[in-house]
């Protein structure tokens, strides 16, 4: 079985590429990043082809005063159309094409016409579901926001219709597709893995403080206002909240109106430092209103850090409510505040959840488990039988 991939930049696709390569399935991965950036991903050069011109230009322009939402929209459209046209000319005939959501609108059907399967890999909820959710959130906080360009929505929905299958990382993402009319049997849940070699317990949390961590973009999508309001209600003499991530434009004007006492905005934190932060934290709080599957949850569990997360984060695919952490309804400040207080007041509960988190992450597995699930789906879709060597690899032999 031979597979090709298409991705804007990197995302999780190079983790998948490594898994396919180990199993002898990867024919090629196509990306819009230059090789100078992609070589750090560790794949052989002959397996990677690049179309970097527009994406790289867009990336560089973002760092200049010339950049604007209008330019961003234009480059998104140009890059998508040009990458798709380039794929049509260069992509090899194989058993399946896995394209990140938004890629392959014309390459996918061409691939199907040659006898291959076209799989859309969507990292979050259905595009229209996502747009509706975020428009509600902007309205709730009185933040002006323009809807996404029509070409993005049209391209996404055309791909959903054309694809033989849609892969999503969580059950909550799958439900969003079904709610928007996509046939349930077309949508497959394959949760992301965790780099267990990078995330493990290190320095334990302090006994005389209560340290809460958030990791991700500081944005309305991630539910930051609910977290700040809930944390402000928390009663503890030595409480502290660390927000690790870049502040996004949609929340900048709102932040001065929100409570930020005992809160540190740490900026972007390298993964090596993030693992240490997770180990030292008593809880990871992730109150997102829209996600696909937040990778930081699995990373925190691997560090023995209990997680408090909303249903929107895909938490139900990673841990059980009340065992390794707590799963809350979306936009529920009261519930978030109560669970933070419970963990602050009950050290024995934190200890039990921390131990349970370490046990759970063993069952979740790393990226190898992610690769196994993709392997099963690909064999099912293509009808290709597994050979003896491949079956042994999948079973860990």
The two tokens of residue 113 are 């016409």
Residues near 1 by beta carbon (within 8 Å), at least 6 away in sequence:
25, 95, 96, 378, 379, 382, 384
Residues near 327 by beta carbon (within 8 Å), at least 6 away in sequence:
309, 310, 311, 315, 316, 319, 321
Q: Which fold has domain 3-193+366-394?
A: Rossmann fold (3.40.50)
Distance CA 71, CA 17 (A): 31
The arrangement of strands across the sheet holding 3-7 comes to 48-50, 26-31, 3-7, 96-100, 117-121, 165-168, 187-189
Q: 0.85 exceeded by the pTM?
A: yes
Distance CA 290, CA 337 (A): 20
pLDDT confidence of residue 389: 46
Distance CA 354, CA 209 (A): 16
pLDDT confidence of residue 78: 87
Classified as helix, coil or strand, 206 is: coil
pLDDT confidence of residue 390: 54
Distance of CA 56 to the CA centre of its chain: 22
Q: Is the pLDDT of residue 364 over 80?
A: no
pLDDT confidence of residue 194: 81
Asked, colleague to colleague, whether 3-193+366-394 and 210-364 share their fold, the answer is yes
What average pLDDT does this structure show over 368-394?
A: 80
CATH superfamily of 210-364: Glycogen Phosphorylase B; (3.40.50.2000)
Distance CA 220, CA 134 (A): 8
Q: What pLDDT digit, counting tens, does each position of 89-136 carry? A: 998 889 999 999 999 999 999 999 999 999 999 999 999 999 999 999
Distance CA 35, CA 53 (A): 12
Classified as helix, coil or strand, 135 is: helix
Spatial contact of 199 and 302, defined as CB atoms under 8 Å apart: yes
Distance CA 29, CA 43 (A): 10
What average pLDDT does this structure show over 270-274?
A: 89
User: Residue 68: pLDDT band by 50, 70, 90 thresholds?
Assistant: confident
Burial class, 196, CB count within 10 angstroms (exposed 0-12 / middle 13-18 / buried 19+) = middle
Distance CA 198, CA 185 (A): 35
* Interstrand relation of 48-50 and 26-31 (parallel, antiparallel or unpaired): parallel
pLDDT confidence of residue 271: 84
What average pLDDT does this structure show over 152-174?
A: 95
User: Residue 336: pLDDT band by 50, 70, 90 thresholds?
Assistant: very high
What average pLDDT does this structure show over 62-75?
A: 79
Q: Is the pLDDT of residue 384 over 70?
A: yes
Domain ranges in the chain? 3-193+366-394, 210-364
The arrangement of strands across the sheet holding 210-215 comes to 263-267, 239-244, 210-215, 283-286, 307-310, 325-328
* Residue closest to 203 by CA, chosen among 129, 279, 271, 117: 279
Q: How far is CA 300 from CA 30, 83, 216, 308, 388, in A?
A: 31, 36, 12, 11, 36
Q: Which helix (H) or strand (E) holds 38?
A: helix 35-38
User: Residue 29: pLDDT band by 50, 70, 90 thresholds?
Assistant: very high
Lowest mean pLDDT across 238-242, 346-350, 352-356, 388-392: 388-392
pLDDT confidence of residue 54: 86
User: Residue 395: pLDDT band by 50, 70, 90 thresholds?
Assistant: very low
What average pLDDT does this structure show over 50-61?
A: 87
Q: For residue 51, how many C-alpha atoms fall within 13 Å in the half-sphere facing its CB?
A: 21
Q: Is the pLDDT of residue 69 over 90?
A: no
Lowest mean pLDDT across 295-309, 318-332, 351-365: 351-365
Average pLDDT, the chain: 92
Q: Is the pLDDT of residue 178 over 60?
A: yes
């Amino acid at each position: 079985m031979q597979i090709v991939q298409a991705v804007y930049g990197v995302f999780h696709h190079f983790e998948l590429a490594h898994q396919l390569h180990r199993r002898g399935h990867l024919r090629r991965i196509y990306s819009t990043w230059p090789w100078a950036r992609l070589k750090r991903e560790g794949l052989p050069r002959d397996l990677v082809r690049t179309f970097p011109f527009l994406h790289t230009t867009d990336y560089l322009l973002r760092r200049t005063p010339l950049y604007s939402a209008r330019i961003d929209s234009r480059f998104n459209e140009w890059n998508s159309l040009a990458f798709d046209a380039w794929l049509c000319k260069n992509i090899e005939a194989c058993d399946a094409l896995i394209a990140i959501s938004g890629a392959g609108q014309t390459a996918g059907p061409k691939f199907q016409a040659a006898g291959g399967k076209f799989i859309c890999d969507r990292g979050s909820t259905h595009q229209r579901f996502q747009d509706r959710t975020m428009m509600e959130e902007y309205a709730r906080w009185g933040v002006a926001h323009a809807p996404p360009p029509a070409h993005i929505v049209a391209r996404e929905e055309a791909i959903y219709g054309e694809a033989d299958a849609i892969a999503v990382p969580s059950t909550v993402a799958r439900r969003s597709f079904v709610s928007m009319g996509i046939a349930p049997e077309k949508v497959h849940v394959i949760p992301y893995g965790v780099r267990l070699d990078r995330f493990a317990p290190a320095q334990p949390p302090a006994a005389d403080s209560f340290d809460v961590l958030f990791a991700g973009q500081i944005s309305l999508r991630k539910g930051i206002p609910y977290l700040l309001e809930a944390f402000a209600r928390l009663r503890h003499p030595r409480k502290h909240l660390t927000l690790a991530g870049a502040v996004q434009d949609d929340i900048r004007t709102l932040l001065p109106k929100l409570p930020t006492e005992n809160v540190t905005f740490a900026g972007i934190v390298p993964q090596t430092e993030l693992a240490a932060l997770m180990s030292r934290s008593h809880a990871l709080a992730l109150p997102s209103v829209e996600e696909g599957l937040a990778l930081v949850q699995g990373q925190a569990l691997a560090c023995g850090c209990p997680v408090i997360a909303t249903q929107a984060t895909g938490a139900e695919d990673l841990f059980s409510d009340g065992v390794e952490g707590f799963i809350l309804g979306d936009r529920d400040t009261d519930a978030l505040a109560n669970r933070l207080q419970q963990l602050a007041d009950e050290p024995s509960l934190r200890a039990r959840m921390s131990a349970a988190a370490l046990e759970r992450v063993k069952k979740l597995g790393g990226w190898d488990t992610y690769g196994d699930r993709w392997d099963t789906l690909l064999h099912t879709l293509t009808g290709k039988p597994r050979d003896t060597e491949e079956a042994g690899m999948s079973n860990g032999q």
